[in-house]
Amino acid sequence: MPSGGMGALEHKNSSVYFLPEVPFEDIAATVRDVCAHEFFHIVTPLNIHSEEIADFNFIVPNMSKHLWLYEGQTEYAAHHAQVKAGLISKEEFLLRMQGKIENSMNYYNDTVLTL
């Protein structure tokens, strides 16, 4: 049975996507959302980032406390661009942002632990 997992990785010149095999009609909006999100990673963290990310040590990682900036700004911009392009309505945008706020408040710890 498939895990249902999905994700993507971004690089300054390319992205890699891992998406579930489903009919096109069911995946089109997901592909659009994921592509928009990965595209905006060109801005954060690839161009705007803390020194922990600029010189990231993969052997002894020191995580940046700016994850909220990298992922939050990226996710906001990805959905906002879709409103500006007429792909989703303002109402849909606000519902998505409301859902993201509620999800973060209900399921995630707002503190960043350092080692």
Return per-residue pLDDT of the chain as tens, 115 residues: 456 677 787 776 778 888 888 888 778 888 888 888 888 887 776 666 666 666 777 788 776 677 777 788 888 999 999 999 999 999 999 999 999 889 888 887 766 555 4
Question: Measuring CA to CA, how many Å separate 54 from each of 8, 25, 26, 47, 65?
Answer: 20, 39, 37, 9, 13
For residue 17, what is the enclosing H or E element?
strand 15-18
> In whole angstroms, how large is the CA radius of gyration of the chain?
16
pTM of the model: 0.70
